[in-house]
Chain A
Amino acid sequence: MPEDPINASSKAVPQINLRRRLVNAAVTFAAVGAVILVLTPLVAIFGYLVYRGVGSVNWAFLTQTPKPVGEAGGGMANAIAGSAFILLLASLIGVPFGIGAGIYLAEYGRNRFGDAIRFTADVLNGVPSIVIGIVAYGIVVLTQRHFSALAGGVALSLMMIPTISRTTEEMLLLVPNSLREASYGLGISRWRTTLSITLRTATSGVITGVMLAFARVAGETAPLLFTAFGNQYWNYRIDQPTAALPLQIFTYAISPFDEWHRQAWAGALVLIVLIVVSVSAVRIAASRGMLKGAN
């Protein structure tokens, strides 16, 4: 039978279309499914965290130190304070170095050497946190012959530096060059221009970067295991082992006691609230007015 080209194609087209449409629908369905599947653990984690945590966060939890095994009550006050202490130390080291390096990269580092620094910062950013812990152990704990808050702070600061320097660089590069020119045109020296004009204009962006780095290290546990080490009691000394919230959560989570499990959830809730609040605050601030008015 002679083939009729017109009829043949008119028959074939709807078939192909149907198959193609089906594939299209299936893929759309799969993508929606993926979104739901990914959102489920998120909802589950937050939901469970709130469900288990809310009942356990109380005044005692926020003001007392841990009770010995078997006794009910007690809290994580020393761990919360210890985390604050360690994070303060980390920020005192990490923020100036990070911003300084960011300034170098943005204002002086548009060359091969700057590229090398950028590359190294990215490498540092990818170093597993447990390895950072080993390094902080080697340079601080071994020299001090003590686990200490300082060692924990150093470990976390090493993790903050690359993040802060890269975001600072990005934010400074967003500042239009015309502002630098205006400043040079007034006879203002380069360092003054960088600090009082460029950095000042980029302030909100730089703060965003600092807060993100802060939020990232606030929940870090691995680098504290053998640096800050943990402590059942209050510690105000920089050269002594110090409790930290994530460490305490870890210790309690893998313990066999229900009471400690309860407290681990409470600690987790406190930690996540601190982190989410700082991340969202930063996001809102950033969307409101990063580089306000600079065009």
Chain B
Amino acid sequence: MANGALRAPGMTGPKPVAGPQLAGQTSWASAIRLKDAGGQLADTVFYALVLFCALAILAVVGLVLYELVSKSQLSWHAFGFKFFLGQNWDPVNDQFGALPFIYGTVVSSLLALVLAVPLAIGVAVFTTEMSPRWLRGPLAFTTELLAAIPSVIYGLWAIFVLVPLLRQYVQPWLARYLGWTGLFEGPPYGIGMLAAGIILAIMIIPIISSITREVMTAVSQQQREGVLALGATRWEMIRMGVLRNARAGIMGGVILGLGRALGETMAVTMVIGNRPEIARSLFAPGYTMASVIANEFSEATGDLYLSALIEVGLALFLVTMVVNILAQLLVWSVTRGAPARTHA
């Protein structure tokens, strides 16, 4: 480096401010250890590696779609859209209609929502607004535990405890007093749509209540105090100050619970009865999309049979995806930024 150039710094700019002169020989410059160039190659390799991992997620979802779409082609070409309207599921004669499964999935999930939503919101309201402080942690932990129990254990419990209970006490009672609705008639097997709905409800309560809790906590304290200052009772404060502002988020939690219920397999398979029929009564056995795949996939002989099952899987995937995305958007609208403007 030419020292001369430095000694007379030709400074431009509005205000050259001179300091001391640069020494002819900077004594310490040699001390700089001129080793490698700073590992830029390693940085690039590392970046490529983690990018690869991130892209793997995209690839997996792409793969899921590809597998489902390509392997259901056979069935799609054979039945077209009628596949989803046909009521006849007859592997022996290669006739496949998925309507009973769609019906079973929808009805069991809706039943689960009807049972779960009030309870889950009640639990969330209690935990965030009413519970003494010391009880909040344990309550949250317990609901979390409920979420950690594997589906197969719920199913096991349902077979040996819930179903006998329904058969002996609940169903006779329902048939006697509510039989006129047509929803509760026929022989009380225990096993059937009602059992599936109840076990699903138990399984989705933790999701709905933890998300409701989350969005309720996101509602600012000022909202609460503002309503309380008007002389509202605690319930009025919760209703007007909290629930109204958290509405969209709670809806998101409910829909997320729906997504889980739609895709739930094992517990439902173990108690729903697995019969591809559409019946009005909730006592009757049914079948869901996830259950039919679970039961018949590994025994499916014949390409069309397998393809039909995969088409059921594709439909299930698309429905849960739409439901989950909707739920995410609703939850985000509350927890990130201002409460959603759902009303003027």
Interface residues of A (CB under 8 A from B): 20-21, 23-24, 27-28, 30-35, 37-39, 41-42, 44-45, 48-49, 52, 96-101, 103-105, 107-109, 114, 116-117, 120-135, 137-139, 147, 158, 161-162, 165, 187, 189-192, 194, 215-216, 218-222, 225-226, 229, 246, 249-250, 253-254, 261, 264-265, 268, 271-272, 275-276, 279, 283
Residues 23-57 of B contacting A (Cβ, < 8 Å) = 38-40, 42-43, 45-47, 49-57
Does B67 make an interface contact (CB < 8 A)? Answer: yes
Contact-residue size bin, chain B (C-beta under 8 Å from the other chain): 35 or more
Instruction: Please name all residues of chain B whose beta carbon is closer than 8 Å to the beta carbon of A127 when the two chains form the complex.
Output: 61, 64, 263, 317, 320-321
Instruction: Please name all residues of chain B whose beta carbon is closer than 8 Å to the beta carbon of A254 when the two chains form the complex.
Output: 159, 270
Interface residues of B (CB under 8 A from A): 38-40, 42-43, 45-47, 49-58, 60-61, 63-64, 67-68, 71, 118-123, 125-127, 130, 139, 141-146, 148-157, 159-161, 202, 205, 209, 233-236, 238, 259, 262-266, 270, 290, 293-294, 297-298, 309-310, 313, 316-317, 320-321, 323-325, 328
A96-B53, A123-B321, A124-B61 known; A37 and B119 CB under 8 Å? Answer: yes
A161 → chain B, closest Cβ, in Å? 6
Q: Is the CB of A45 within 8 A of B157?
A: yes
A35-B122, A137-B297 known; A130 and B290 CB under 8 Å? Answer: yes
Q: Given A35, A123, A191, which contacts B123 in the complex, CB threshold below 8 Å?
A: A35
Q: How far is the CA of A12 from the CA of B323 in the complex (A)?
A: 48
Q: What 5 A-B pairs have minimum CB-CB distances, sorted nearest first?
A: A219-B150, A128-B263, A34-B122, A100-B53, A191-B46
Q: Is the CB of A135 within 8 A of B67?
A: yes
Given contacts A41-B146, A126-B321, 16 further A-B pairs with CB under 8 A are A44-B161, A100-B49, A114-B54, A124-B60, A127-B263, A127-B317, A134-B309, A189-B43, A191-B46, A192-B39, A219-B149, A219-B152, A222-B294, A250-B270, A253-B159, A253-B270
Output the nearest chain A residue to B260 by Cβ-Cβ distance: A126
Q: Is the CB of A246 within 8 A of B150?
A: yes
5 pairs from A and B in contact (CB 8 Å cutoff): A28-B234, A34-B123, A38-B120, A49-B153, A117-B57
Q: Is the CB of A138 within 8 A of B321?
A: no
Q: Is the CB of A35 within 8 A of B57?
A: no
Q: Is the CB of B54 within 8 A of A189?
A: no
Output the nearest chain B residue to A268 by Cβ-Cβ distance: B153
Q: How far is the CA of A215 from the CA of B156 in the complex (A)?
A: 19
Q: Given A24, A100, A132, A226, which contacts B54 in the complex, CB threshold below 8 Å?
A: A100
Q: How far is the CA of A107 from the CA of B43 in the complex (A)?
A: 12
Instruction: Please name all residues of chain A whose beta carbon is closer than 8 Å to the beta carbon of B38 when the two chains form the complex.
Output: 187, 189
Q: Given A42, A44, A261, which contacts B145 in the complex, CB threshold below 8 Å?
A: A42
A105-B54, A130-B265 known; A35 and B126 CB under 8 Å? Answer: yes
Q: Is the CB of B52 within 8 A of A100?
A: yes
Output the nearest chain A residue to B288 by Cβ-Cβ distance: A130
Q: Given B39, B235, B263, which contacts A191 in the complex, CB threshold below 8 Å?
A: B39
Q: How far is the CA of A207 from the CA of B209 in the complex (A)?
A: 26
Q: How far is the CA of A162 from the CA of B255 in the complex (A)?
A: 20
Instruction: Please name all residues of chain B whose beta carbon is closer than 8 Å to the beta carbon of A104 when the two chains form the complex.
Output: 50-51, 53-54
B322 → chain A, closest Cβ, in Å? 10
Q: Is the CB of A134 within 8 A of B123?
A: no
Q: Is the CB of A250 within 8 A of B68?
A: no
Q: Given B152, B290, B310, which contacts A253 in the complex, CB threshold below 8 Å?
A: B152
Instruction: Please name all residues of chain A whose beta carbon is closer than 8 Å to the beta carbon of B298 when the two chains form the complex.
Output: 147, 225-226, 229
Output the nearest chain A residue to B135 by Cβ-Cβ distance: A35
A45-B157, A127-B317 known; A189 and B39 CB under 8 Å? Answer: yes
